[in-house]
Amino acid sequence: MEPYTQESQSGKVEELYLDTRYWRSNIKFMDDEMHFIQKLLNSYVFEPNTPNLFERLHDYQERMKKTVLKKNEVTNRISRHERNLGGMLECMDDACDLLYYRQHERLKAEVAGFKEEFRNLKADIFQYAGGILKKRKPLP
Please tell me the predicted confidence (pLDDT) of residue 88.
77
| Residue 137 in domain | no
Kindly state whether residue 97 falls inside one of the protein's structural domains. yes
The overall pTM is greater than 0.85: no
CA 137 to chain centre: 38
In the prediction, which pLDDT does 139 show?
54
Q: Does 69 fall in a domain?
A: yes
CA gap 18, 78 in Å, rounded? 12
Q: How many domains does the chain have?
A: 1
Return all residues near 114 (Cβ < 8 A) that are at least 6 apart: 70, 71, 74
pLDDT of residue 1: 42
As averages over each run of 10 residues, the pLDDT of the chain (140 residues) reads 51 87 96 94 75 83 96 97 82 76 94 97 89 61
What does the angle CA 107 – CA 21 – CA 70 come to, to the nearest 5 degrees? 45
Query: What is the C-alpha to C-alpha distance for residues 131 and 3, in angstroms, rounded to an integer?
Result: 61
44 in any annotated domain: no
Distance from C-alpha of 122 to C-alpha of 135, rounded to nearest angstrom:
22
Task: Summarize pLDDT for 29-52 with one digit per residue, the tens.
Answer: 999 999 999 998 888 777 667 667
pLDDT of 37: 93
Is residue 41 in some structural domain? no
Rg value, the chain, Cα: 22
Residue range of the domain that includes 97: 6-34+51-132
Q: What is the pLDDT of residue 44?
A: 76
**Would residue 99 count as lying in a domain?**
yes
